[in-house]
Chains A and B, each alone.
Chain A
Amino acid sequence: MDDKTRLDLYRVMVLSRTFEEAILREYHADKKPAFDIGAGLVPGEMHLSAGQEPVAAGVCAHLRAEDAVTATHRPHHVAIAHGVDLDKMTAEIFGRETGLGHGRGGHMHLFDPRVHFSCSGIIAEGLPPALGQAFAFARADGDRVAVAFTGEGAANQGAFHESLNLAALWKLPVVFVVEDNDWAISVPRDVSTAIASNADRAAAYGMPGERIEDNDVEAIYAAAGAAVGRARSGEGPTLLEVHTLRLWGHFEGDPQAYRPELSDVPGKDPIPAYGQRLTQDGVLDADAAKAIKDEASARVEKAVAFAKSSPVPAPETALDYVFT
């Protein structure tokens, strides 16, 4: 891998983490002294992706703006890596009129048609629409692909199995990416799944499958490159499962009492680890790392400021956009 690619991966991950830290800050700022989910500037559920940045960065590096991506209730890292408009995304998370959905969707329902990005709050249900986008791409000129992100818990939902079969049967240009962060809210994988690796399910559905360990962004990048390449050349779908890390709770406000290894978790943060690796390889130094962090902070704070200064949607527009 060339230095530029490695630095780009690092940069995307830093931007994503910086964003999540800002949202974390904003989300909790006005929910004190005790957590009130409906209070404040960013009410509702919030599912942040800290720790899972390598998956988004490694996969989306292979995608163009015209490729489609469907993501989950934990979408921010994927959105950022795929180039979703950061200002409008932030405004949408803050429920403002200038948001991607004019404040109608919020954090779990982000749509940026410019980069064919969508996400959904229903587990595994982002897979079928990705099939449809791939279906449309396959019939048009070019070699566009669709990538559907989902979780290891979602791999036991009917939609997952139906989608894998149909994608393989119709040889659709789609890549399925399972983010195995060990936890479906509070339920660990070995309590939900009869087999050790969802990659082993791929063969049952007639497609190649690969599991990537250690939340290693470069290994993810390599596997995703092969999978996206297969899809682009008409060879059909691939299932990738990445063992990643949920650094924070399932949702903000999750006390995580069920998570025995919690104290070990911060030590497994993939971003400082990758930074160290790049430094050892002479690709990154302290100044460059600081510049990347400062650039990310500036970009994120600009987006947050844009969101906060944007108007709230007018109540009399509540029925707009039911139909076109």
Chain B
Amino acid sequence: MSATDTSAAAGAGAGQAGRKLTTARAIAEGIAQEMERDQGVVVIGEDVGAYGGIFGATGGLLDQFGPERVLDTPISETAFIGLGIGAAVEGMRPVVELMFADFFGVCMDQIYNHMAKIHYESGGNVRVPMVLMMAAGGGYSDAEQHSQCLWGTFAHLPGMKVVVPSNPADAKGLMISAIRDDNPVVYVFHKGIMGLPWMAKNPRSVAPVPEEAYQTPIGKATVARVGTDATVVTLSLSVHHALDVADKMAAEAGVDLEVIDLRSLVPLDTETVLSSVARTGRLLVVDEDYQSFGMSGEIAARVAETDPGLLRAPLRRVAVPDVPIPYARSLERAVLPTPERIEAAVHDLLKA
């Protein structure tokens, strides 16, 4: 199976009656299958070995492949991300984990000035086929420095693909695609979709995942829910909130929402967004990253520069309102794109 839509693949199921995995296990399975296929795939990062990754993304890999291929590093992000770059330049396919997206501050030079630029600077003569994966997102009171999403920052800087799965099947397929891609791929997984036993989880964090290795196409969004009244464009954990709101509003208010799961920010599937907005005429963008100068503005710009006439009402966006993520639960819930804020925005959108 390759390049097919994994929503369909997951629904069809495989093996034991549509065997279910958490997103974390699905990611680890994708990495494991690629490590079986290609000796050049290694996993590098803090606590990726015996611990299995702080958020479970590398669970079981050390047992299966040993310490030569699953390497715990010192707290030296610049050094080990740069090491990944050099290894990739010499033909390996490293999967390097940055523990929290929030930590990019200590190592961003290697990421955006090296990993992302070497291919271009070299006129295409040097490739950097590595995956930089990172945990992102809030909602469990980890406050300002451990709750950010930041995919907008990575997407803004040229030279790296950015993928953000929302569910287990896409998580596995996108990881396999990312590893096989000859470009550097930033792979961002929201902690809230990982299905961890120690963090409150959305039920969609555990879902059927095909057993064989398969690729989910990078750069293709998917329509998570077909609808007619408005288009909700989103990604990551917010897909689940949007779907929950859609179910609720269908039952209570007869509103039929279309939900688009972007899955990738770079490349961005503008086509799918535009064709949906052309049908519904109403657009809500939901983004757990900071509101200004980011993903939601980008979606709005792509619609406006194609045909602002597609919109029958001004677009709405629900994002983190340019504020550091607060610690107190009451405050955190006020700034994250919760189902309540999403529902209110849909009402707004439909009234206008």
User: Is the CB–CB distance between A321 and B124 below 8 Å?
Assistant: yes
Closest approach, in angstroms, between the C-beta of A138 and any C-beta of chain B? 10
Using a CB-CB cutoff of 8 Å, which residues 55-93 of chain B contact chain A? 68, 73-74, 76-92
* A-binding residues in B (CB < 8 A): 68, 73-74, 76-92, 94, 106, 109-110, 113-114, 117-127, 158-159, 161, 182-183
**A111 interface residue per 8 A CB criterion:** yes
User: Is the CB–CB distance between B124 and A102 below 8 Å?
Assistant: yes
User: Is the CB–CB distance between B90 and A136 below 8 Å?
Assistant: yes
Find chain B residues with CB under 8 A from A109 CB. 117, 121-122
Closest approach, in angstroms, between the C-beta of B181 and any C-beta of chain A? 9
16 examples of A-B residue contacts, CB within 8 angstroms: A104-B122, A111-B122, A113-B125, A118-B122, A120-B114, A125-B113, A125-B114, A128-B80, A129-B114, A131-B82, A131-B83, A132-B90, A133-B86, A133-B87, A162-B78, A321-B122
Find chain B residues with CB under 8 A from A128 CB. 78-83, 85-86, 110
- Known contacts: A133-B90, A162-B78. The answer to whether A122 contacts B123 by CB under 8 A is no
Beta-carbon contacts of A243-258 to B below 8 Å, as 1s and 0s?
A: 0000000000000000
User: Is the CB–CB distance between B124 and A129 below 8 Å?
Assistant: no
Interface centre among A129, A134, A163 (most CB of B within 10 A): A129
Interface centre among A118, A136, A159 (most CB of B within 10 A): A136
Candidates B77, B84, B106, B158; contact of A132 at CB < 8 Å:
B84
User: Is the CB–CB distance between B82 and A324 below 8 Å?
Assistant: no
Interface size on A, residues (CB 8 A): 41
Closest approach, in angstroms, between the C-beta of B316 and any C-beta of chain A? 32
Find chain A residues with CB under 8 A from B158 CB. 322
Interface centre among B79, B89, B109, B118 (most CB of A within 10 A): B79
Closest approach, in angstroms, between the C-beta of B218 and any C-beta of chain A? 10
Nearest neighbor of B183 in chain A, beta-carbon distance: A323
**A166 interface residue per 8 A CB criterion:** yes
* B-binding residues in A (CB < 8 A): 68, 99-105, 109, 111, 113, 116, 118, 120, 122, 125, 127-137, 139, 146, 158-159, 162-163, 165-166, 169, 320-324
Nearest neighbor of B267 in chain A, beta-carbon distance: A323
Tell me the bound Cα distance from A128 to B128 in angstroms. 14
Find chain A residues with CB under 8 A from B120 CB. 104, 321-322
* Count, A-B residue pairs, CB within 8 A: 145
Find chain A residues with CB under 8 A from B92 CB. 135-136, 139
Candidates B80, B82, B113, B127; contact of A127 at CB < 8 Å:
B82
Find chain A residues with CB under 8 A from B125 CB. 100-101, 111, 113
User: Is the CB–CB distance between B80 and A166 below 8 Å?
Assistant: yes
Nearest neighbor of A123 in chain B, beta-carbon distance: B109
User: Is the CB–CB distance between B86 and A131 below 8 Å?
Assistant: yes
Tell me the bound Cα distance from A128 to B114 in angstroms. 10
- Known contacts: A130-B86, A134-B86. The answer to whether A101 contacts B109 by CB under 8 A is no
Question: Assuming A135-B83, A165-B74, what are 5 further A-B pairs, CB within 8 angstroms?
Answer: A128-B86, A133-B89, A134-B86, A135-B92, A324-B119
User: Is the CB–CB distance between A166 and B90 below 8 Å?
Assistant: no
Interface centre among A103, A104, A116 (most CB of B within 10 A): A104
User: Is the CB–CB distance between B183 and A113 below 8 Å?
Assistant: no
- Known contacts: A120-B114, A132-B90. The answer to whether A159 contacts B121 by CB under 8 A is no
Find chain A residues with CB under 8 A from B84 CB. 132
Tell me the bound Cα distance from A68 to B182 in angstroms. 21
Find chain A residues with CB under 8 A from B122 CB. 100-101, 104-105, 109, 111, 113, 118, 321
- Known contacts: A100-B123, A132-B88, A135-B87. The answer to whether A169 contacts B82 by CB under 8 A is no
Tell me the bound Cα distance from A139 to B83 in angstroms. 14
User: Is the CB–CB distance between B87 and A322 below 8 Å?
Assistant: no
User: Is the CB–CB distance between A132 and B124 below 8 Å?
Assistant: no
Find chain A residues with CB under 8 A from B126 CB. 111, 113, 118
Find chain B residues with CB under 8 A from A122 CB. 109, 113-114
Closest approach, in angstroms, between the C-beta of A173 and any C-beta of chain B? 12
Nearest neighbor of A106 in chain B, beta-carbon distance: B121
User: Is the CB–CB distance between B121 and A135 below 8 Å?
Assistant: no
Tell me the bound Cα distance from A224 to B87 in angstroms. 24
Nearest neighbor of A108 in chain B, beta-carbon distance: B121
Tell me the bound Cα distance from A163 to B81 in angstroms. 11
User: Is the CB–CB distance between B76 and A129 below 8 Å?
Assistant: no
- Known contacts: A101-B122, A105-B122, A322-B120. The answer to whether A146 contacts B110 by CB under 8 A is no
User: Is the CB–CB distance between B90 and A137 below 8 Å?
Assistant: yes
Tell me the bound Cα distance from A113 to B90 in angstroms. 9
- Known contacts: A101-B125, A129-B114. The answer to whether A162 contacts B90 by CB under 8 A is no
Closest approach, in angstroms, between the C-beta of A93 and any C-beta of chain B? 13
Interface centre among B106, B114, B125, B158 (most CB of A within 10 A): B125
User: Top 3 nearest A-B pairs by Cβ distance?
Assistant: A128-B82, A132-B86, A102-B123
Find chain A residues with CB under 8 A from B94 CB. 132
Closest approach, in angstroms, between the C-beta of A313 and any C-beta of chain B? 9
Tell me the bound Cα distance from A129 to B113 in angstroms. 12
Nearest neighbor of B159 in chain A, beta-carbon distance: A322
- Known contacts: A131-B83, A159-B79. The answer to whether A125 contacts B121 by CB under 8 A is no
Nearest neighbor of A127 in chain B, beta-carbon distance: B82
User: Is the CB–CB distance between A104 and B88 below 8 Å?
Assistant: no
Tell me the bound Cα distance from A323 to B79 in angstroms. 24
Tell me the bound Cα distance from A132 to B80 in angstroms. 8
Tell me the bound Cα distance from A102 to B106 in angstroms. 32
Closest approach, in angstroms, between the C-beta of A308 and any C-beta of chain B? 19
Nearest neighbor of A158 in chain B, beta-carbon distance: B78
Tell me the bound Cα distance from A146 to B82 in angstroms. 14
Candidates A111, A125, A166; contact of B76 at CB < 8 Å:
A166
Tell me the bound Cα distance from A139 to B120 in angstroms. 27
Closest approach, in angstroms, between the C-beta of A137 and any C-beta of chain B? 7
Tell me the bound Cα distance from A323 to B87 in angstroms. 18
Find chain A residues with CB under 8 A from B85 CB. 128-129, 132
